[in-house]
Structure 1
Amino acid sequence: MHSQPAQEDEDHRGRRSRMGTLLVIIIIIIIIVVVVVVVVVVVVVVVVVVVVVVVVVVVGRRSSSRSSSRRSRSSSQSSRSSSSISNSSCSSSSSSSSVVVVVVVVVVIVVVVVIVPAAVIVVVVLMWY
């Protein structure tokens, strides 16, 4: 008679220790996934920013070289060259706004990737205890 409650106690401890190791494994897997996703997102953001900066610099150089050649041709075309400079500044501002949009999207993705697993962990822990 005394052995039966002791046996149930050992079973309960075994289940609890198995649940604990399972919880640790789940947390480690989620941490690894989050770290990998964050690294990938950071690399993508850096690549996008570098590409946009290179494009803006190349477009700016082309428009400035065009405007200088137009100025040297005749003074009547100076108004056109100034309009091309303003067009290049508009294109650079639009590209910077696209960078802002990309950064916002990446931040939202990171928040979702980090918060959703954290919420799942909290729910699982609360259900077990």
Structure 2
Amino acid sequence: MDYEALLKRGMEKIPEDVRTAGRFHIARPEVEKAGAKSIITNFLEIAGGLDREPEHLLKFLLKQLATKGEVEGQRLVVLGVFSADAIEKKLELYVKQYVTCPKCGRPDSKLVKEHEGVFLRCDACGNKAPVPKV
């Protein structure tokens, strides 16, 4: 089999959504201040854009911000005053640890629970890597 035939065969095995995916963007958190609380009004949009369960992202953010909070409808209300930049930095850390594949760098992944723990399984390259517990 020649190189071109092998290349064509390999490309056919790659899912279409992986081949055509554009640059990955995280929605910028929209933060409102209400007294001693911060409200991320687009929290569920962010979780959906990352293709992660809102509960997992919630636990991570609350731990990273060392505060308490809860989801109310589409938004996250946390105790304390936090800037959009501070929350965005925490989201970038979340993406690095729980979304982006450590092998190929693609965001096309899923969190998979197994008896040994939680793993990041990459849909693009097939890599499976353990992730830290939240």
The answer, yes or no, to whether TM exceeds 0.5 is no
**Which is bigger in relative contact order (C-alpha 8 A, separation at least 6)?**
1
Task: Determine which structure has the larger strand proportion and give its number.
Answer: 2
Task: Determine which structure has the larger helix proportion and give its number.
Answer: 1
The structure that has the greater radius of gyration is 1
Tell me the TM-score normalised to structure 1 length: 0.32
